Amino acid sequence: MDNVLLVATMDTKSREVLYLKACLKEAGIPVLVLDAGIKGKSPVPVSINREKVARAGGKTMIEVQGMGHEGKSLEVMINGAIRCAQDLYRQGDISGVISLGGSMGTTLGTGVMRSFPVGFPKVMISTMASRDTREFVGTKDILMLHSVCDISGLNRITNRVLHNGAMAMAGMMQYPPKSLYLGKPLIFISTLGTTEACVQNVRDHLEKGGKEVVVFHTVGAGGKAMEEMLLEEDVRALLDLSLHEITDHIFGGDYDAGPARGSVALQKGVPTILVPGNMDFIVTGPINTAKQRFPNRSYHSHNAAITAVRTARNEMETLAKVIANLCNETRGPCAVFVPMGGFSAFDSKEGPLYDPIAPELFAAALKKALKTESSLHLLPYHINDPEFAAALIQALEKFTGSL
């Protein structure tokens, strides 16, 4: 059985850490403790001490303590902890990372965890798990366990919660997943619920043809995760069906995946089909906020917290230019497919954001900005029409040379 790495601040949490370690040993899991505490020495010996962690972060412990800024000291220790953890991983010494803590401990523990690939077991027992966890979880599969009470002393609550966290890790380490998809060509697709009918058609067809399909939900974190994995995995083709995160990045919507969205696959040379799916709307907060921020538009209130705001016609032209630029700079095969009948379920004859002129303006701007028209395909269908899906499948077949 491999080791689990327990990332800890032994100056403040040694009692709770020793209990967690005892639980893991109960399940037969050997533990390496990494101490990144800044305030004081660990009361017991650890596998990787804080001096070593500080040095891996580029400073001595005395330098770290002299920084006079808790946030900056923590940053050095996180960077050091990541380096130590990755060294152990490369040497084959650890098969999981577990941690426990409040706001500082969670920043430290999840900072280390986010440096590991998807599938590698990660458990964070935290007081910070019942709130916005985006900065902690990011684009990774971190198991966040809410501690309910403070992780401060041992009692009937921390006893159960720490034990459960340890055993969740033990279970994952005892039964690692088998790789079921070796050898199948891998295809990535991006979507939202409003382009789901198209995805289902394409996915079913590809899977029946022996492809492996991974679908990403373009709500910000989804697009970011997709771009990260495009770098890591050997992806045969990308169907970027929901470029909507670009809309939100440019016009200040909530589903923003950063400035690199859309460029990673093209820069790596992954064969890519771009579709302006869901670019007909900007996602923002409650309806009243939406009306203030984007006045005089069509709106669709998805629920109390989320409103879809119709993209204006001049904004559609801006988006067309962005897509053209992406396409013009690609290092691999690339094509743009435009569904002239509407870009999402909202942008359809029955939908709340329908505007039949917008696709025309979008297509005209795209045509003008594209270096080569051969990559442009204007199809007289709605994005969720089966005929549109059929055209995408045909194009993917060409790109991947099979099916």
Looking at residues 61 to 90 of the shown chain, list those that interact with a copy of itself (rule: CB under 8 A).
71
Stretch that binds a copy of itself, among 54-62, 80-88, 180-188, 319-327 (CB under 8 A): 180-188
Task: Report the distance separating Cα 328 and Cα 213, nearest Å.
Answer: 27
Cα 78 from Cα 74, distance rounded (Å): 6
Which two tokens mark 179?
Answer: 């790789």
Which residue lies nearer to a copy of itself by CB, 50 or 122?
122
* Residue 62: CB minimum distance to a copy of itself, A: 25
Per CB under 8 A, does 123 bind a copy of itself?
yes
| Number of neighbouring beta carbons within 10 Å of residue 124 | 28
For 135, how many CA atoms within 13 A lie in the half-sphere containing its CB? 8
Nearer to a copy of itself, 190 or 311 (CB): 190
Full strand arrangement of the beta sheet holding 212-217 = 212-217, 186-191, 235-240, 272-274, 334-339, 376-379
What is the contact mask toward a copy of itself in residues 218 to 247, using x (rule: CB under 8 A)? ---xx--xx--x---x--------------
Q: Decide: is 22 part of the binding site for a copy of itself (CB under 8 A).
A: no
Which range, of 45-53, 171-179, 263-271, 287-295, touches a copy of itself by CB under 8 A? Answer: 171-179
CB-based burial, 141-168: b 16+ in 10 Å, e otherwise: ebbbbebeeebeeeeeebeebbbebbbb
User: Shortest distance, CB of residue 120 to a copy of itself, whole angstroms?
Assistant: 9
Q: Scanning residues 298 to 317, which ones bind a copy of itself (CB under 8 A)? A: 303
C-alpha torsion sign, points 263, 264, 267, 269? negative
Residues 83-122 that bind a copy of itself (CB under 8 A): 102, 118-119, 121
Pairing of strands 31-35, 3-8: parallel
- Residues in 374-403 at the binding interface with a copy of itself, rule: CB under 8 A: none
Binding of residue 134 to a copy of itself (CB under 8 A): yes
Pick the binder of a copy of itself from 186, 250, 287, 391 (CB under 8 A): 186
Beta bridge partners of 5: 32, 97
Residues contacting 178, CB < 8 A, separation 6+: none
- Give the CA count within 13 Å in the CB-facing half-sphere of 288: 1
Per-residue binding string, a copy of itself, 274-303, x by CB under 8 A, is -----------------------------x
Q: Which is nearer to a copy of itself, 2 or 150 (CB)?
A: 150
**Nearest approach, Cβ of residue 147 and a copy of itself (Å):** 7
Query: Does position 163 bind a copy of itself by CB under 8 A?
Result: yes
- CA torsion angle for 318, 323, 324, 329 (degrees, to 10)? 130
Binds a copy of itself (CB under 8 A): choice among 65, 164, 267, 400: 164
Helix axes 70-90, 103-113, angle to 10 degrees: 30
Query: Which one of 43, 72, 181, 231 is in contact with a copy of itself (CB under 8 A)?
Result: 181
Is residue 172 at the binding interface for a copy of itself, with CB under 8 A as the rule? yes
Q: Per residue, what are the HEC states of 146-203?
A: ECCCCCCCCCHHHHHHHHHHHHHHHHHHHCCCCCCCCCCCEEEEEECHHHHHHHHHHH
Number of CB atoms found within 10 A of residue 5's CB: 27
In angstroms, give the least distance from the CB of 96 to a copy of itself.
Answer: 10
Nearer to a copy of itself, 20 or 395 (CB): 20
Q: Which is nearer to a copy of itself, 77 or 324 (CB)?
A: 77
